[in-house]
Amino acid sequence: MLLSISTIVFTLLTGIVVLFQLCLAFGLPWGAASMGGKYPGKYPPKMRFIAIIIILILLTFNFIVISRAGYFFPWMYSFSKIAIWFVVLFSLSGTVMNSITPSKIERIWVPVVFLQLIASVIVALS
């Protein structure tokens, strides 16, 4: 049950972050809530491309979590036993970075990434 809840929590939160990154990629003026607020307003073209790369990374991490939990992608299960720890480390670094960011608005992501960290650890240890 805890594994299921953790997988769902991670997936839902990842979906929120993916939608946010998609909005940045499409030019919504939310740059102050990302990358330390270095690009307030609309992202420049290079950063929009990076937002797409971040989306791909996040989706890959979500596939790893889902596979490690044993729900889908059984062909990834062996890989996910090790790869899940990269997800955990990424979530840990995201928690730290969002906690110390100079952008006050970007700190809204701390609870999101912290919950992703907890969920990914539970999945990793399952």
Give me 25's structure tokens.
């990629």
What's the mean pLDDT in 117-122? 98
Closest CA to 96 of 83, 105, 106, 86: 106
What does the pLDDT read at residue 80? 93
Which string of DSSP letters, residue by residue, matches 2-32? HHHHHHHHHHHHHHHHHHHHHHHHTT-S-GG
Confidence of residue 76 (pLDDT cuts 50, 70, 90): confident
Residues 107-111 have a mean pLDDT of 96
Two tokens at 115? 């919950």
Structure pTM? 0.92
Please determine, for residue 73, whether its predicted confidence score (pLDDT) is greater than 90.
no
Mean pLDDT within 51-74: 95
| pLDDT at 36 (0 to 100) | 92
| Backbone φ/ψ region at 70: left (φ over 0), alpha (ψ -120 to 50), beta | left
